[in-house]
Amino acid sequence: MEKRNRPAGNDVRPDDIRSPELIEKHDLLWSRPGYLIRRLHQAHVALFMEECADVNITPVQFGFLTILDGGAKLDQATLGAEVGIDRTTTADVVNRLEGRGLIRRETNPGDRRMRIVSITPEGRDFVRSVVSRVEAAQVKFLAPFSEQERAAFLKLAARLADQSATPNAKE
């Protein structure tokens, strides 16, 4: 079995476990894509938060700002769907970003029930000031891969994400 990195503070290693049944169950867990993806997500969020600790931004919030920084003016539901977040979480994220002056909401003149979200000049400045930190987190996250492996990983991950996109994730 290939040795893997374990979370900090976990003193039990598969090689230390004497029971073949426990080793088999451990191997089974590490063969499950969902488990591995969750672990990768945890690792990426930790790197992101480490790089952006002093600017008070989450990966989901930065995702919203990235979409809007491209010039989009979107209703909240569409914005949330673009990032893969449910409506309730989208409303919370939009409230926080609006409270910081990074985005603004306006009533849609064509449908007064709908709120259109756009980035503010302060939001654009914020994205510019933070993007190098976000990129640094991504470089650290993909550091174990060669350039060719990074390209392959991103291609496969994008294909999986595209095939199984659901707006039910939580921030």
Task: Give the pLDDT of residue 167.
Answer: 46
Task: Give the pLDDT of residue 110.
Answer: 83
Chain segment 46-99, per-residue pLDDT in tens: 999 999 999 999 999 999 999 999 988 999 999 999 998 999 999 999 999 999
Cβ atoms 123, 103 nearer than 8 A? yes
Q: What is the spatial distance between Cα 147 and Cα 124, in angstroms, rounded to a whole number?
A: 30
Chain segment 144-169, per-residue pLDDT in tens: 999 999 999 999 999 998 887 654 54
Chain segment 124-143, per-residue pLDDT in tens: 999 999 999 999 999 999 99
Who contacts 26 (Cβ-Cβ below 8 Å, separation ≥6)?
Answer: 14, 17
Chain segment 11-24, per-residue pLDDT in tens: 555 555 556 676 67
Q: pTM of the prediction?
A: 0.78
Q: What Å distances lie between residue 135 and 44, 62, 122, 141, CA to CA?
A: 11, 12, 20, 10
- Domains identified in the chain and CATH numbers: 16-163 (1.10.10.10)
Task: Give the pLDDT of residue 113.
Answer: 82
Cβ atoms 60, 25 nearer than 8 A? no
- E strand map for 83-145: 103-108, 111-119
